[in-house]
Structure 1
Amino acid sequence: MNTSKILAAAALSLLAVAGANAETYDGVHPLTSANSRAEVQTGAVAAARAGNAYGDAADAGVEAVASTTDRTAVREQAVAAAHNPLQSLDRRAFYRDQVPAAYSKPKVSFTRQAAL
C-alpha cells in the first residue's frame, strides 16, 4: 500500500515538473526608444502643462456667463431650498410614484426659536 502511494506521488510530481517547464522566459525586453532621457523629460513637461487635450472644453478657454438674475434673489432661493426639509424628496422612491400625504408640506416649522 505504501509503495503504491509513493509511486502515485512520484508520478504526480513528474507531471507537475513537466507542466512547469512548458513556458520559457525570455527576460526583460530591450528598450527600443530613439529619444534620449532629456528629450523624454522635455516632452513630459510640455504635455503636463498643456492640460487635457482630450477633454470636451480643452480649447474653449475662459467662458463668460451672462446672468440676468439678481444676486440677492439667487441667494434667497438657495437659502429657501436649503431650509426645505423635503427638498431632496424623490417621487420615484415611493409606490406608484405617489408621495404619501405624510410627506406633504409640513404645517409646523422645523426651525427652533430662542425662548425669552
Structure 2
Amino acid sequence: MKTSHILAAAALTLLAATGAQAETYEGVNTAVSTKSRDEVNAEAVRTASAPNQNVTRGSRGPETVAVSKDRALVEAEAVRTAYAPDQNVTGGSRVNSKVISTMAHPMDARVQAQQGSGAVAK
C-alpha cells in the first residue's frame, strides 16, 4: 500500500513539473523609429501649440452638409415611406415567406381619387 502511494505521489510530481513550465524572458522590446528625438519633440510642440485643438465638434455652429437632392423631393419621399402599408413586415419575418402587400398605398389612393373626381368634374 505504501508503494502505491509513493508511485502516485511521484506521478503527480512529474505531471506538475512538466505542466508548470514558465515562459522565457526575452527582455524589453527595442523601439523602432525613423525620427530622431529632436524631430519627435518638435512635432509634439507643434501639435500642442496648434490653435483650437480642444474645440468640440459643432460648438462653432452648424456644420455644412453637401446637398444632393431638393428639399421638397426628400420630404415627399419621407411622407410616402411613412404612409407605406406593411412597412414593418419583412420577407424574413417568417420562414419561406413573401411579403405581398394587400393594401393600397394611401397616397396612391388619394391621387387616384383626385384624378377620378377631376375627370368627372370636367
Superposition TM-score tier, normalisation by shorter sequence: 0.3 to 0.5
TM-score, normalised with respect to structure 1: 0.43
**More relative contact order in 1 or in 2 (CA 8 Å, sep 6+)?**
2
* Greater gyration radius: 2
